[in-house]
Copies of this chain bind each other. A is one copy, B any other.
Amino acid sequence: MDFSKLDGLVPAVVQDETSHEVLMVGFMNQEALTLTLETGFATFFSRTRGKLWTKGETSGNRLRVTSALVDCDDDTVLLKVQRLGDGNVCHTGERTCFNRELTPDVARTGA
């Protein structure tokens, strides 16, 4: 993996293996990626908290990795997962983090 483009991180896209929904995108450093592959549960590096976190470690809504792919230039990961717990991946309680339309207004302001 090429971790050089984002100061030691790569984006990891998480996709439901059954519904094929894109559930979230997190970032991984080498340690998070190794842990993810070794344990079979998606583990990320939190950019805001500056530390590793296993998705669902408090909520129980862990993500079991069923396959992992790498892209053509080795700088992005795609994980296919099963949703555990109540199956809601987003911290807002929604199934996926991608639940709002991106309008031009949102693109400009985030509002």
Contacts known (A68-B102, A70-B100); A37 close to B91, Cβ less than 8 A: no
A87 close to B (CB within 8 Å): no
Q: Return the contact of A13 from the options B25, B101, B104 (Cβ within 8 A).
A: B25
What number of A residues sit within 8 Å (CB to CB) of B?
Answer: 46
Q: Is the interface of A mostly helix, strand, loop or mixed?
A: mixed
A49: Cβ under 8 A from any B Cβ: no
Quick check: A102 and B47 within 8 Å, CB to CB? no
Residues of B within 8 A of A24 (CB): 71
Q: In the complex the two chains form, what is the Cα distance from A31 to B90 in whole Å?
A: 28
Given contacts A5-B47, A13-B25, A15-B22, contact A110 B72 (CB under 8 A): no
